[in-house]
Amino acid sequence: MMAKYGFSATLTARPGMGDQLVDLLLTGLDEGSPGASEHCLVYLVSRSASDPDIVHVIEGWASEEDHHRVFASEAAQAIVARIDPLLGKDAEYTDHVPVRGKAAL
């Protein structure tokens, strides 16, 4: 299955809270969480090489509708609610239309 919708976010944690933010975002891969959905084809959490408090999330979804439906779930909203207190500034979000690529982790 190929991703037809992509999403990325750049999140800046409060100073020294990058580890907590990464740990929280990785719970998105737990059973019942958004990244574990069959519709989520790519869920990659990474950090800035120069600032450990800057965290990037890249997602690939079967469709935009799947992404919106899964993120409206209770599990997703619970994670989102726990992210806000860790942030030092507003997150930056970008939607993508995947063309071609590879994800093997």
Q: Can you give the pLDDT at residue 16?
A: 97
pLDDT digits (tens, 9 = 90+) for 18-56: 999 999 999 999 998 999 999 999 999 999 999 999 999
Mean pLDDT, residues 86-104: 90
CA distances from 71 to 19, 27, 32, 61, 91 (A): 23, 14, 12, 11, 16
Task: Please tell me the pTM assigned to this model.
Answer: 0.90
Q: Can you give the pLDDT at residue 52?
A: 96
Q: Can you give the pLDDT at residue 103?
A: 75
Task: Place 2 in a pLDDT band, splitting at 50, 70 and 90.
Answer: confident
Q: CA triplet 80, 88, 73: central angle to 5 degrees?
A: 5
Q: Can you give the pLDDT at residue 102?
A: 78
Residue 47 near residue 55, CB atoms below 8 Å:
yes
Beta-ladder partners of 6: 60, 96
| Count of Cβ atoms closer than 10 Å to residue 19 Cβ | 13
Average pLDDT, the chain: 93
